[in-house]
Structures are given as C-alpha cells and as structure tokens.
Structure 1
C-alpha cells in the first residue's frame, strides 16, 4: 500500500511539474556564473511549491473560502508581470551591455523563483485537492513528503539540462529574450486556460 501511494505520488508529481524544467533551466541560464544561483533557485522552488501544497491541503480540509477556485487563473498575472519587467530590463540594458557583462549572468532572486513556481502551480492545486480528498490524511502527508523530495530532483534535472554543452550556449546567448517570452507566455496561458477576465 505504501509503495503504491509512493508510486502514485511520483507519477502525479511528474505529470504536474515536468513543465517546470523549462522555466528552471532559464533561471539557471539567467544566473550562469553567479555564485549561489543553485541554492537560490532551490530555495525559491521549495518556497513556491510549499505554497502550492499548503493551498491544496487547506482547500482539501475545507478552507476553500480562502482560495476560491475562480481566483486560481489570476495567478497568471504573476509570471506575466515578471516577464514584462524582465523584457523591459532587457530592452533598457541592450544598448549598454557588452559581452563581458553578460558572462557573469544576472542575480536570480529567491522570491522571483518562488512566485513563478507558485503561479505555474496554480493548476496543480486543482489536481491535488481531489486526490487529497480521496486518499485521506495519512496518504496526503505521504504524498507531500514524496513531492518535497522530488522538488530537489526537479531542480537537479533542470540544472543538468541547462548545463549540457550546446544547450548552455543557446540558453546563455538567448536567455535575455527567452526568459521574458516564456514568463509572459506562461502568464497568458494560465490566464486564458483558466478563463480569467472572461477569456
């Protein structure tokens, strides 16, 4: 029974978080060459995912009034705003950035990773709640433990992808364009797919 629950938790985590590898890879490309980038991305991913789990557990315990389902699509505003901000910074810095400045990468803030992770996981809440309601408190706790272990594996996988020869060069060269485009696209997809603003 325990092995079955663990296997189900692993499958559920992979299905709902595989897309995070792309976003996290871009964070790694953004912070390439900066000391502490991995630890900040890991901390941000854990903070954001802990928020997702907390919301899912609270809603499954009957606290849905604090997080109405209709509010979840509006999480898309978070990556949208962050993406627009990153695009504005890239445009502003385009004229005065030389190649030497780009080698060091940019600082990746823990709160930015956490915010994007939480916003991108808004749909995860909708998936996790019925599962948690169905399996009961003990299995829910087991699911949460497995999920939290797998968060580290997800970050390691994203770092692996971002540092592969060829991929790392493409990401570092085009990060200043890809990063805002992916965040803006992610925000728009979350807003549109959730029907925010009557879309």
Structure 2
C-alpha cells in the first residue's frame, strides 16, 4: 500500500468526518447502560459509512445512483430523527428517576437511525470522494477504502472514549438527551440550507 495514498486518505477522512466524533459521543451517551447500544452504534456507523463509500465508488466508475440535486434532501433524515428525539424528550420531561431506571433495559440509538444519520451527515462527502477515487485508479481507490474503514473504528472508539470520560459523561448524562435532538436537527438544517433544498 502506497504510503503517500495512506497519508492522503487519513487527511481526507479526518477533514470530512471530524463532526462525526461529536455525534458518536452523543449516541454513546444516549445508549449508556442499555443492552446492545454499543453494537447498534458501531454497526449503524459502518452501514451508513459503507453506503457513502459504495455510492462514491460507483459514481467514480461513472454510475450515478444519487443525483447531485438529491444530496441536499438527505438533511431530512437527521432532521426527522432529531425531531422524533425531541418529541420523546418532551414526553418524558417529568419522569426523572424513572427514565434513569429504564436505562438498563434495551433501547438507546437504533442501528438504522445511526446508519441514516451517518449517511445523511456524510452525503456531501460523496462529492469530495468521487473525483479522488476516480483519479486514484482501482488500487488507489481500494487503499482509500481500507484506510477509511480502519479509521472509522478509531472514530467510533474516540466517540465512546469521550462519552465515558467522567466530566464529559456527567455533562452528557445531564444534557445529552437535549443535545442529541438539537445536534441532529442542526445537522439536518445545515445540510438542507447549504445544499439549497426547497429553494433555501
């Protein structure tokens, strides 16, 4: 594997996915103490990112399954999930300790929700990845994909690490249920506005 390509892949991944660490930390905080939450977050992140890479690879070969004008509307996914989470927070606003007791049961972030947020949040990355993949050739493209998937594990570990640091964990435990809907809604709005969806 060409070290130059590896270095470029590391830089490209870091620049295009830096905000994912924050979202992952919020997901891990939401899933703290819940069965299968870490698995759902990890698999969901990989499914969502694999979909981004798959679309970018096929587009690099000339097949466009996701027209450019559709990308801004991906913002509707995190927006809808964020609104749903906000409604859930509103409904449970007076439950206090009862909600904490339920944290040991199943629940937390759902696999498909994490995948949808990952895909929507990285939808604009497709436009960056396509020309890079197209000019890298098959070997270079394969190197990019391998490095991206390896770094994704590091990103997931970083999100979990931040969510479990005592100071961060306390803050997320207290405010995470409010921050997650706000972050998801914010991501959705930014994607829609930046892409000019609905004439914005």
Same fold (TM over 0.5): yes
Deviation at 1:100, TM superposition (A): 4.3
TM-score (norm 2): 0.95
Provide the aligned C-alpha RMSD in A. Answer: 1.2
Q: Is 1:120–1:186's contact at 8 Å kept on the other side of the alignment? A: yes
What's the CA shift string for 1:166-185, capped at 9, x where partnerless? 11011011122101100000
Q: What SS is found at the alignment partner of 2:124?
A: helix
1:190 Cα shift? 0.4
For structure 1, which runs of at least 5 residues remain unmatched after alignment? none
Q: 1:140 to 1:3 in 2, by over 3 A?
A: same
Q: CA deviation at 1:104?
A: 4.6
The match for 1:164 is 165
- Runs of at least 5 residues in structure 2 that lack an aligned partner in the other structure: none
CA distance in 2, matches of 1:125, 1:145: 16
Q: Distance between the aligned counterparts of 2:177 and 2:14, measured in 1?
A: 28
Counting matched residue pairs gives 197
Instruction: Return the alpha-carbon distance in structure 2 between the equivalents of residues 101 and 89 of structure 1.
Output: 11
Residue 145 of structure 2 corresponds to residue 144 of structure 1 = yes
Take 2:33 and 2:164, find their aligned partners in 1: how far apart are those partners?
11
The normalised TM-score by structure 1 is 0.95
Q: Distance in 2 between matches of 1:3 and 1:62?
A: 27
Deviation at 1:63, TM superposition (A): 1.0
Q: The residue matched to 2:108 in structure 1 has which SS?
A: coil
Whole-angstrom CA distance in 2 between matches of 1:141 and 1:132: 9
Q: CA deviation at 1:133?
A: 1.1
Runs of 4+, deviation exceeding 6 Å = none
Deviates more, 1:35-44 or 1:180-189: 35-44
Is 1:115 matched up with 2:123?
A: no
Contact 1:32–1:104 (8 Å) recurs in 2: no
Aligned to 1:186: 187
